């Protein structure tokens, strides 16, 4: 009977295909009053679009494709039908709901005499067992084929050179005329239109409240004339968190300490949901840098780990969570910024290793990110002389310097494209950083980056001069137009993949705001934040002083400077008889006298540089002075970097919390008083100042050992 059913199914499906064959023929264009002719197609039939039936549902979207090459999302006046509602139904918003029964259905969208279709099917999943007593099913989508779906080549053929160049430009409008940009001004609107900008990056100054951010992003999209804009941001979590109203995730190194791919996925998903609700469609996160240099001044806790395998696993999990929401992720900073001792915001770092070492360490996580389908790769302003030994003369001082990865054809094209097989979008890091700005002119750096193979030019210095410079470089033959077009093709492919398309009638802003306010900073996301914090805080040392067994009458002192109010507030929630001494300098006699009747001292230190954690630094001198001056336990908390204990190894107990976010302080306080047992494991090695190892990778105590 099974074979008979299969044979019966074939003519039924064939009949459906015959009846609908006319729909996939040559594009039939209609005339819309006051506009060009257009065709009606389904976005999901475009080869670059991503189609998945999740939880038995599929959102289909119609497109108007105009003869001049551009395409838009139309107003919702289309008719949707399903040929086999026993298998799948479709509502008038294009939402397909699978019934769970096996079979296929043709889902059609029509508008007047225009129409398009797609086939959805449910097949028995022999590997899936049974669900509610019935065999599991797997869903498939069959796209239609034909020239009418070749949107990108058609768009590029009809673009002006200025429009092509504009797609590659992503400036920031952080401030203007001395004010933070929190709303779209006529001046910015004019720049978006004049230069046909393909995207904009937002910063903390731009995203103050949920309502304001949603309005700003929506206004940018309205301003775009033909194509949807990439609205990007650096929402990594931890110390790089832009949304002022969003959930403050503890950051990547906290995830490294928690050792959970599931948690990393949840973090990426929560961040993606918040950005997506606001209309922000591209996140320059996560960092795939392997932080194996304790002296690194720019990556540090932005990295998951010093271990390439752990970094790759957590980074891919985070990326999958992020991109599963429809928000593009970015693996940065290729080929790896983790083993540097110079901040590329301030200077030009170098990584001296050969390719064999780089492939095992620095490049390993990026290769895994590429294989997992990360949407974009961001390059680092770091030199890798063993990959590209090309030298140029610095405009800063006339010396010879190696070409940084961002401007290197050997890195961007020969390594990323040819050797590692990546075909997604490549973006520069910010071109206003001193590693680039000091040594290369604003226009020269952009031309070099494009020649090297970059697709997105991020934060160029001087929008007008850079746009004009790129145009002139193409017209003079310095850059071929085909080189520009290959980047535009990848950018448009990304936009179609993520449904970033100009809307003829955007959703009412009050609906967008209401959804954003339900999503951004939601209770579910705050729970993820708490869980990461609780599972990441790491107990490195405990001379039998933790957990604190303090009676109500016992006084506890909290001492420090940076973020010490937050640590104090968290401790005081757990023990009311707590006092605060704000000081990073050597303690005065008066302050020491305040400690005469305390039962324990909790001291917080916050560092981001090698100089900050030196024993000679006033903050560290104060901690060591305390250790020698009092007879009660001194418990230190490394608020940001776990390396702080290198400056005061004789402290009685030490906790690394990796983050100055509220949830991390609350988790630390709960651990201090035994309400939670520490679970974190060091994601990095803590070196001994004289060259050995103070605490090894993976070290972490609990109250059960």
CA nearest to 265, candidates 273, 496, 240: 273
Give the active site residue among 429, 566, 652, 666: 429
Active-site residue flag, 699? no
Cβ contact 40:116 at 8 Å: yes
Write down the number of H helices and E strands in the chain: 21, 33
CA 443 to chain centre: 28
Which long-range contacts does 420-423 make (Cβ < 8 Å, 24+ apart)?
A: 420/363, 420/366, 420/367, 420/370, 421/370, 422/370, 422/377, 423/490
Q: Give 602's strand partners.
A: 558, 635
Q: DSSP class of residue 675?
A: S
Element (H, E) at 240: none
What SS3 string covers 380-415? Answer: CCCECCCCCCCEEECCCCCCEEECEHHHCHHHHHHH
CA 87 to chain centre: 37
Q: DSSP class of residue 416?
A: I
Q: DSSP class of residue 479?
A: S
Write out the DSSP string of 556-573.
EEEEESTTHHHHHHHHHH
CA nearest to 267, candidates 476, 532, 51, 466: 532
Element (H, E) at 235: none
Half-sphere exposure for 250 (CA within 13 Å, toward CB): 36
Find all residues with CB under 8 Å of 253, minimum gap 6, and list them. 238, 291, 300, 301, 302, 303, 304, 305, 642, 658, 683, 684
φ, ψ at 76 (rounded to 5°): -80, 60
> In the numeric block, which tokens belong to residue 163?
């429009």
CA nearest to 435, candidates 557, 351, 349: 349
Active-site residue flag, 345? yes
CA nearest to 116, candidates 226, 49, 26, 48: 26
φ, ψ at 464 (rounded to 5°): -65, -50
Classify the C-alpha dihedral 657-663-669-673 as positive or negative.
Answer: negative
- CA angle, residues 675, 260, 313, in degrees to nearest 5: 160
- Compute the distance between CA of residue 582 and CA of residue 558 in angstroms, rounded to an integer: 8
Give the active site residue among 68, 125, 180, 345: 345
Cβ contact 552:693 at 8 Å: no
Q: DSSP class of residue 373?
A: T
- Compute the distance between CA of residue 359 and CA of residue 355 in angstroms, rounded to an integer: 6
End-to-end CA distance of the chain: 63
> In the numeric block, which tokens belong to residue 488?
């535009």
CA nearest to 454, candidates 430, 476, 425, 479: 425
- Compute the distance between CA of residue 250 and CA of residue 683 in angstroms, rounded to an integer: 14
Find all residues with CB under 8 Å of 687, minimum gap 6, and list them. 294, 643, 646, 693, 694
Q: What are the catalytic residues? A: 345, 429
């Amino acid at each position: 009977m099974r074979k008979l059913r299969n044979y019966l199914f074939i003519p039924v499906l064939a009949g459906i295909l015959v009846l609908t064959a006319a729909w996939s023929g040559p594009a039939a264009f209609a005339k819309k009053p006051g506009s060009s002719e257009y065709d009606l197609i389904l976005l999901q039939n475009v080869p670059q679009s991503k189609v998945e039936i999740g939880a038995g549902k599929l959102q289909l979207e119609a497109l108007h494709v105009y003869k001049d090459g551009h395409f838009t999302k139309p107003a919702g006046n289309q008719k949707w039908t399903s040929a086999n509602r026993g298998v799948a139904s479709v509502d008038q918003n294009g939402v397909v709901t699978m019934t769970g029964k096996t079979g296929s259905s043709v889902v059609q969208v029509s508008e007047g005499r225009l129409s398009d279709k797609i086939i959805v099917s449910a097949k028995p999943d022999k590997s899936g067992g049974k669900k509610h007593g019935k065999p599991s099913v797997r869903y498939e989508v069959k796209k239609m084929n034909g020239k009418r779906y070749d949107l990108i080549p058609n768009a590029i053929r009809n673009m002006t050179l200025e429009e092509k160049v504009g797609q590659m430009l992503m400036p920031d409008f952080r401030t203007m005329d001395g004010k933070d940009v929190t709303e779209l001004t006529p001046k910015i609107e004019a720049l978006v239109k004049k230069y046909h900008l393909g995207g904009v990056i937002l910063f903390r100054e731009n995203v103050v409240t949920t309502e304001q951010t949603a309005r700003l992003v929506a206004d940018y999209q309205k301003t775009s004339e033909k194509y949807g804009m990439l609205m990007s941001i650096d929402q990594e979590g931890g110390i790089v968190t832009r949304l002022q109203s969003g959930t403050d995730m503890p950051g990547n190194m906290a995830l490294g300490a928690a050792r959970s791919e599931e948690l990393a996925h949840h973090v990426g998903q929560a961040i993606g949901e918040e950005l997506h609700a606001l209309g922000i469609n591209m996140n320059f996160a996560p960092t795939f840098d392997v932080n194996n240099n304790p002296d690194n001044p720019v990556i540090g806790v932005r990295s998951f780990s010093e271990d390439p395998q752990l970094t790759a696993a957590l980074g891919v999990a985070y990326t999958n969570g992020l991109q599963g929401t429809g928000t593009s992720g970015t693996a940065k900073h290729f080929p790896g910024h983790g083993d540097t001792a110079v901040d590329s915001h301030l200077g030009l770092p170098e990584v001296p290793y050969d390719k064999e070492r780089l492939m095992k360490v620095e490049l390993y996580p990026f290769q895994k990110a590429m294989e997992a389908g990360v949407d974009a790769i961001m390059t680092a302003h770091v030199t890798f002389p063993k990959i590209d030994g090309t030298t140029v003369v610095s405009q800063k001082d006339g010396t010879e310097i190696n070409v940084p990865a961002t401007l290197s054809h050997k890195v961007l094209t020969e390594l990323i494209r040819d050797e590692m097989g990546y075909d997604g979008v490549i973006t520069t890091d910010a071109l206003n950083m001193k590693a680039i700005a000091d040594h290369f002119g604003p226009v020269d750096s952009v031309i070099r980056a494009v020649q090297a193979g970059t697709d997105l030019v991020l934060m160029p210095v001087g929008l007008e001069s850079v746009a004009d410079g790129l145009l002139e470089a193409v017209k003079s033959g310095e850059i071929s137009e085909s080189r520009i077009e290959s980047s535009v093709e990848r950018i448009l492919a990304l936009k179609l993949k993520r449904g970033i398309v100009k809307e003829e009638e955007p959703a009412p802003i009050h609906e967008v705001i209401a959804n954003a306010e339900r999503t951004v900073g939601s209770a579910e996301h705050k729970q993820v934040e708490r869980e990461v914090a609780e599972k990441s805080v790491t107990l490195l040392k405990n001379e039998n002083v933790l957990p604190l067994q303090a009676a109500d009458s016992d006084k506890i002192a909290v001492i420090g400077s940076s973020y010490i109010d937050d640590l104090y507030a968290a401790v005081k929630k757990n023990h009311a008889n707590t006092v605060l001494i704000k000081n990073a300098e050597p303690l005065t006699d008066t302050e020491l006298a305040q400690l005469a009747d305390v039962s324990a001292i909790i001291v917080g230190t916050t560092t981001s540089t090698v100089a900050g954690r030196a024993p000679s630094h006033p903050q560290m001198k104060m901690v060591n002075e305390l250790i020698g001056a009092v007879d009660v336990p001194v418990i230190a908390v490394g608020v940001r970097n776990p390396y702080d204990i290198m400056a005061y190894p004789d402290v009685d107990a030490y906790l690394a919390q990796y983050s100055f976010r509220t949830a991390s302080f609350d988790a630390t306080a709960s651990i201090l008083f035994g309400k939670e047992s520490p679970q974190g494991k060091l994601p990095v090695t803590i070196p001994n100042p004289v060259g050995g190892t103070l605490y090894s990778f993976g070290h972490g105590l609990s109250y059960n050992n």
